[in-house]
């Protein structure tokens, strides 16, 4: 089994780099380091992309609001952050076109003056993209706007059309890890950093890691340790050096999901302003409609953040200001909440004002490298800066970063119509083939091979879902999925978009996992009970009844 191999590798060698944290930044560091010829290992307390990196707005963007703040406040730092992010969009799309693509968005204008204001701002947004632009903005009149998105309120004056990118964040994260593994990297999920061992001068030399699934304690040796734990960065910083000051603040972001037919359009909406200065997106995603995000000051906790009723009502309130036909709370079918890492700047600053840029920090006493702050769009630059810092500290000749053109697994040979090959050559049902193509790219062939080996695995998990049993087996065998939540929340993303469907297929998924992972009947029963109880808690917290 793949995970057992990685467990053995973790203790059998000394690594150049040990990365703590399996989100986008940690996975990016793993791929960057290993592709440069370094020996790298990544350990993640829960599962790859289990925290912030699977709970984003699924956008690859520079940040329209950050550009507005940069101009209004004459803030060059925010300006340069937006410019960097905009130039990374196309790289992310090129490296995994099955998981990322351009997305058209409309910014509603309620007056002629708003139209001029937003057009000017979005033209600047275009300019900052330079030759890496993914689409030019355009001011549309009312008729053109409603033709493009008929769900929008007829009270609008016009709208500005512009482009950003959209990605399947959890699968992109998983693909980074798998690509790094192809280069020879070691990676472990459900492996918690417990304590460091230091040499006589106080430098970190060993990390003790507990395998949460077996209780086994691992001893990992490395030249340098990288802290890429996002909102939880201070915990690792203090574990390495208790005298370090706190650097992180966090905000809670919430998204809700409603049926896709409530907005019959592939063009998203950016609600440009709210009463408290935030922006809200209304975005088509995997056949559903995603609405978010809130942004409120929060505290770290061991429990997973949840959507609350007041947050549901807040988001619906803003959607209904821009929709012709109001959305009701009882139409919400799922939601998710995540914590965002914000670099401590002014301790009294509102979290909406903190810059999303990143910083590579080195603790001189312990030698810990921490990558702090940042956002999904700039994960690759964050990783590059972090691994560059490793070379600088070690005083060795730097091998150049090449991740700007490394294709992720599933991208080689990919085409938007690759699904037709699955239909014509292998007889895969059309809807299933299209789904596989979007989720796995050319890796779909491995799932098709499982279908051919075991005909029973051709069966869908549900009549209204394109997911087959073979897909469950694949993510357990090839992607280290160890729990129901690993499969349903991260590998499939279903928990985040459809609570009822997730609950309906839990038993079938558990049956397949029990065989693959050797669960006893009692372990299987407990896994199902605990997971379904968690789904009920999500519904109750959001004040929703199905």
Reply yes or no on whether the pLDDT at 237 is more than 80: yes
Same structural domain, 491 and 505: yes
Same structural domain, 466 and 530: yes
Same structural domain, 290 and 328: yes
Same structural domain, 351 and 422: no
242-279: per-residue pLDDT in tens? 999 999 999 999 999 999 999 999 999 999 877 777 78
166-176: per-residue pLDDT in tens? 999 999 999 99
Tally Cβ neighbours within 10 Å of residue 60. 29
Residue 204 near residue 368, CB atoms below 8 Å: yes
Which pTM value belongs to this model?
0.95
Measured CA to CA, the distance from residue 509 to residue 528 in angstroms comes to 9
Q: List the CATH number of the domain containing 298.
A: 3.30.9.10
Measured CA to CA, the distance from residue 215 to residue 55 in angstroms comes to 28
Question: Within a domain: residue 131?
Answer: no
Classify residue 91 as left (phi > 0), alpha (psi -120 to 50) or beta.
alpha
Per the listing, tokens 């006589």 go with: 200
Same structural domain, 333 and 363: no
Reply yes or no on whether the pLDDT at 453 is more than 80: yes
Same structural domain, 254 and 293: yes
3-state secondary structure of 543: coil
Q: Which of 340, 358, 382 is the last residue of a domain?
A: 340
Question: Within a domain: residue 115?
Answer: no
Measured CA to CA, the distance from residue 43 to residue 236 in angstroms comes to 13
Measured CA to CA, the distance from residue 191 to residue 213 in angstroms comes to 8
Task: Please report the pLDDT score of residue 219 as a whole number.
Answer: 98
Same structural domain, 292 and 428: no
Measured CA to CA, the distance from residue 345 to residue 372 in angstroms comes to 12
Question: Within a domain: residue 48?
Answer: yes
Question: Within a domain: residue 510?
Answer: yes
Measured CA to CA, the distance from residue 268 to residue 281 in angstroms comes to 7
Reply yes or no on whether the pLDDT at 349 is more than 80: no
Parallel, antiparallel, or unpaired for β 59-60 and 158-167? antiparallel
Same structural domain, 504 and 372: no
CA of 165: how far to CAs of 85, 92, 156, 249, 509, in Å? 11, 9, 25, 27, 32
Same structural domain, 507 and 537: yes
3-state secondary structure of 278: coil
The total number of structural domains in the chain stands at: 3
Same structural domain, 35 and 184: yes
Measured CA to CA, the distance from residue 62 to residue 290 in angstroms comes to 19
Same structural domain, 377 and 441: no
- Burial label for 244, CB within 10 Å (0-12, 13-18, 19+), is middle
- What average pLDDT is seen over the chain? 93
Q: For residue 339, list its beta bridge partners.
A: 252
Reply yes or no on whether the pLDDT at 353 is more than 50: no
Q: What percentage of the chain reaches a pLDDT higher than 90? A: 85
Contacts for 157 with CB less than 8 Å, ≥ 6 apart: 109, 110, 111, 112, 114, 115, 142
**pLDDT confidence band for 62 (50 / 70 / 90):** confident
Question: Within a domain: residue 81?
Answer: no
Query: Residues 290-328, buried b or exposed e (16+ Cβ, 10 A)?
Result: bbbbbbbebeeeeebbbbbeebbebbbebbeebbeeebe
Same structural domain, 387 and 286: no
Domain range enclosing 269: 249-340
Q: Which of 308, 325, 340 is the last residue of a domain?
A: 340
Classify residue 286 as left (phi > 0), alpha (psi -120 to 50) or beta.
left
3-state secondary structure of 393: helix
Per the listing, tokens 């199902």 go with: 528
């Amino acid at each position: 089994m793949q995970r057992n191999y990685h467990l053995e590798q973790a203790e059998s060698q000394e690594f150049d780099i040990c990365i703590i944290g399996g989100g986008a930044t940690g996975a990016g560091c793993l791929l960057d380091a290993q592709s440069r010829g370094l020996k790298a290992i990544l350990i993640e307390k829960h599962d790859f992309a289990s925290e912030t990196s699977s709970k984003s707005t699924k956008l690859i963007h520079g940040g329209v609001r950050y550009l507005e703040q940069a101009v209004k406040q004459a803030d060059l730092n925010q300006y340069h952050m937006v410019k960097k992010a905009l130039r990374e969009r196309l790289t992310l799309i090129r490296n995994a076109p099955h998981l990322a693509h351009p997305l058209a968005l409309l910014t509603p204008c309620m007056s002629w003056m708003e139209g001029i204001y937003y057009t000017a701002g979005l033209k600047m947004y275009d300019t900052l993209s330079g030759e890496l632009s993914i689409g030019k903005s355009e001011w549309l009149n009312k008729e053109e706007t409603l033709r493009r998105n008929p769900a929008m309120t007829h009270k609008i004056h016009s709208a500005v059309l512009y482009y950003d990118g959209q990605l399947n964040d959890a699968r992109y994260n998983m693909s980074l890890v798998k690509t790094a593994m192809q280069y020879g990297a070691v990676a472990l999920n459900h492996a918690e950093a417990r304590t460091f061992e230091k040499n006589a001068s106080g430098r970190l030399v060993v990390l003790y890691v507990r395998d949460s699934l077996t209780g086994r304690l691992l001893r990992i040796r490395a030249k340098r340790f990288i802290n890429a734990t996002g909102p939880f960065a201070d915990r690792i910083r203090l574990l390495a050096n208790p005298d370090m000051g706190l650097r992180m603040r966090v905000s809670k972001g919430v998204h809700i999901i409603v049926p896709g037919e409530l907005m019959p359009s592939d063009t998203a909406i950016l609600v440009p302003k709210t009463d408290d200065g935030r922006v809200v997106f209304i975005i088509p995603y995997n056949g559903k409609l995603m609405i978010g995000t809130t942004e409120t000051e929060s505290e770290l906790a061991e429990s997973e953040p949840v959507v609350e009723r007041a947050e549901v009502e807040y988001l619906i309130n803003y959607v209904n200001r821009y929709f012709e036909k109001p959305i009701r709370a009882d139409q919400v079918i799922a939601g998710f909440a995540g914590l965002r890492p914000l670099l401590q700047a002014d301790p009294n600053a509102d979290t909406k004002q903190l810059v999303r840029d990143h910083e590579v920090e080195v603790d001189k006493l312990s030698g810990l490298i921490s990558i702090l702050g940042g956002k999904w769009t700039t994960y690759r630059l964050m990783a590059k800066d972090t691994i560059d810092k490793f070379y600088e500290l070690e005083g060795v000749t730097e091998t150049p970063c090449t991740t700007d053109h490394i294709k992720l697994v599933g991208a080689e040979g990919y085409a938007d119509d690759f699904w037709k090959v699955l239909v014509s050559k292998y007889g895969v049902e059309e809807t299933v083939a299209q789904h596989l193509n979007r989720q796995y790219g050319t890796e779909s062939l491995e799932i098709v091979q499982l279908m051919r080996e075991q005909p029973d695995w051709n069966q869908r998990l549900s009549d209204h879902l394109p997911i087959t049993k073979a897909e469950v087996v694949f993510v357990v065998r090839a992607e280290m999925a160890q729990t129901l939540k690993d499969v349903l929340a991260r590998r499939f993303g279903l928990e985040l978009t459809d609570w009822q469907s997730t609950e309906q297929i839990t038993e079938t998924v558990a049956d397949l996992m029990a065989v693959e992972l050797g669960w006893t009947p009692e372990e299987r029963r407990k896994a199902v009970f605990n997971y379904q109880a968690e789904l009920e808690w999500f519904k109750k917290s959001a004040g929703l009844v199905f």
